[in-house]
Amino acid sequence: MSQSKTPTKAKTVDLRPVFWTLGVLALVVGSLMASTLRAEEKTITTHGYSFYGNLTYPADFTHFDYVNPDAPKGGEIALGTVGTFDSMHPYTRKGRAGALSSVMYESLLGEGVNSTGAPADVYGEYYGLLAESLEYDEGRNWVIFNMRPEARFSDGSPVTAHDIEFSHNLLLDEGLKSYADAVRKRIPKVEVLNDHAIKFYFTEGISRRSLIDQVGFVPAWSKKWYEETGAKLNESRLEVSPGSGPYVIEAVDVNRRVMYKRNFDYWGKDLPINVGRNNFDIIRIEYFGDATAAFEAFKAGEFTIRVENDSKKWASSYGFPKVDNGQIARKSLPDGSPPTPSGIVFNLGKEVLKDKRVRQAIALAYNFEWTNESLQYGLFKQRASFTQDTPLMAKDLPTGAELEFLKGFGDLVADEIYSEPAVLPHTSNPARLLDRRNVRKASKLLDDAGWFVDSNGIRRNAAGEVLTINFLFNSSSPSTLSGVMENFVSNVKALGVDISLEKVDSSQYTSRERDRDYDLVYDSYGAFLGTGTGLSQRYGSESAEFSLFNPAGLASPLVDAIIEESLQATTREDEVVAMTALDRVLRHEFIMIPLWYKADHWVAYYDQYGHPENLPAYALGYLDFWWYDADKAAALRDAGALR
């Protein structure tokens, strides 16, 4: 509307003053019209948030459908973990934080224990916790959170909008660089309106996706505590700021034990969002040096619940008396979430691994079929997708809406994405570890990539350099996993590759993984059920060199473009199309060797706990909405089953 470009000059009459005046008038009129439009724009006031506006639970809901509203409070749940810790501060790259050390902190919108979803029976819906309501304009240019004035930190001090502003800025100034860089571009301003109202402004011209929920999930830290102690967010420490959540630290014994106790004065215990949840008086975590010691401790009753991921143990190690006589319940419980995309990740920053043919050749050394039958009791399926077994999983050739979506990216899309089905893992001979057919395929790929076998059977390039690969591995991993990787390395060596499996302790592993000091590493990415700006931190180019969430260092213009376009989706149908295309392209990029997955939770626990008969799709929830049965616990103690 504004006449902002330079006007044409006449030979005899200077029209600049006239056009300048008209330009100013146009700007004024435009500004007034924009102001009027903004004034007319509807303000939405709500008790929760979802991008498409659909909320399952009404403003007067009394509890989530899947919880037991009458669940008793009390008792202890105890977990075992392998490794070490030297900090209770989980928001920094420095040190290794104790398990569940974020459990004390809450946000404006509610979460489950340890940042899991809540509610866990729906996708993409969030409900107020520290905030009793939120307001935003239809264009989502800003959001106001109206906070609950009764909210308190565990030291009794109020949680205010000033604490939220402080926490937001602290993450930008001292938090992870990949997070801070992304957020600064999207959230230019935050304003405290009063002690219990805070307003966030969003950058014009960007997707409205993941803006309101981004600021809604900033942890609430005590500004007063940080200012009085001089503590920094980017340092490792055992002393932590008070949180406003249902649990506080009870005891810390470094490298041995962490205990959290329920805060009986918790300000939010009667809120509908918390009914039937946070039921245990004590959450205890025991640390062990290796997986074998941890399992023996569970059998002895040193801790009380175990979520099993080791197929060998699940299949063959639970035939002891406490299981046989029912003192320990052993169950497979449904899991509606896509499995975590775990696997052997390639460091794309290493020159030798930039050639996709080399990565494909190394992958052919992994024999899933033999591994699953010989080491894992046939209990797993081979994972192919980043959205495995969901409607977002790419299949066959792209067709219909997905095909049209991909065509919109022009030359960024490789021809084979159109002409070849979505990448699936190779198949192998289950009868023998080394599949000769795959060895031949891998050898040809390495030859084509310029790595030839010398007279000693070693792969070298034209310059005589040996094809050398370092595989970083956590020595505290379960023995079955270690065995799988040792067999994989043996097969890689058979290709003429000089590969070493470097087993290091948990502390070294964490440090080197953060520094990306590896060629291969056993790691994982985040599964997705929809779009969001967090995808850029996991899979995007901008922070690929240093993001902790992108262990391969993937930097793909096509992936970036798909993520950006997905953020513009205005319907769930369009979002699904974009995410299916993203899954297809990620698989084509070949950043990792996908391994295995299971469709259920494997869980064993001393039979002193109750849980809802119908578990929600997106959480097992044993720390969130399970509960303690005092009578059953007493019977176990009387029988000597528990220490």
- Locate the domains of the chain by residue range: 1-40, 42-335+599-643, 344-595
Q: Judge whether residue 231 has pLDDT over 60.
A: yes
Q: Which distant-in-sequence residues (6+ apart) come within 8 Å of 120 by Cβ?
A: 64, 66, 112, 616, 617, 618, 619, 621, 624
What's the confidence (pLDDT) of residue 104? Answer: 95
pLDDT-based confidence at residue 181 (cuts at 50, 70, 90): confident
Which stretch of 11-20, 404-413, 553-562, 606-615 has the lowest confidence by average pLDDT?
Answer: 11-20
Which of 604, 595, 633 has the alpha carbon at shortest distance from 333? 604
* Cβ–Cβ < 8 Å for 489, 434: no
- Region 418-443: mean pLDDT is 97
Task: List pLDDT tens digits, range 134-170.
Answer: 999 999 999 999 999 999 999 999 999 999 999 999 9
Residue 168: other Cβ atoms inside 10 A: 22
Q: From CA 70, how far away is CA 529, in angstroms rounded?
A: 32
Q: Residue 84: its pLDDT value, please?
A: 92
pLDDT at 8: 33
Report the alpha-carbon distance of residue 312 to residue 315 in Å, rounded.
5
Of the candidates 519, 587, 596, which has an alpha carbon nearest to the alpha carbon of residue 558? 587
CA distance 103 to 113: 6
% of the chain beyond a pLDDT of 70: 94
Q: Summarize pLDDT for 16-38 with one digit per residue, the tens.
A: 333 333 343 344 444 444 444 44
pLDDT at site 643: 76
Single-letter residue type at 467: L
**Residue range 385-406: average pLDDT?**
97
DSSP 438: H
pLDDT per residue as tens digits for the range 315-334: 999 999 999 999 999 999 99
Lowest mean pLDDT among 25-34, 405-414, 593-602: 25-34
603 or 26, which is more confident? 603
Residue 203: left if φ>0, alpha if ψ -120 to 50, beta else—which one?
beta
Averaged over 332-351, what is the pLDDT?
A: 95
Dihedral over Cα of 223, 226, 230, 234: its sign:
negative
Determine what percent of the chain is predicted with pLDDT higher than 90.
86
- Contacting residues for 56 by C-beta, under 8 A, at least 6 apart: 119, 121, 122, 125
pLDDT at 112: 85
Q: Which CATH class is domain 42-335+599-643?
A: alpha beta
pLDDT band at 40 (very low <50, low <70, confident <90, very high): low
- Please name the amino acid found at residue 128: G
Residue type, 254: V
Predicted local confidence at residue 32, as pLDDT: 45
Length of the chain: 643
- Give the integer Cα–Cα distance in Å for 142 and 140: 5
The average pLDDT across 41-47 equals 92
> How many Å apart are CA 637 and CA 362, to the nearest integer?
52
pLDDT of residue 533: 84
Sign (positive or negative) of CA dihedral 78, 82, 88, 93: negative
pLDDT of residue 20: 33
Residues with Cβ < 8 Å from 499, sequence gap 6 or more? 468, 469, 470, 471, 489, 492, 493
Structure confidence by residue, pLDDT tens digits, 463-476: 999 999 999 999 98
Mean pLDDT of the chain: 92
Classify domain 344-595 at the CATH superfamily level: Dipeptide-binding Protein; Domain 3 (3.10.105.10)
What is the per-residue pLDDT for 476?
87
DSSP per-residue codes, 343-355: EEEE-TTSGGGSS
pLDDT band for 542, please (50, 70, 90 cuts): confident
CA dist list (Å): 414 to 357, 409, 536, 555: 15, 10, 21, 15
**Mean of pLDDT values over 615-633:** 96
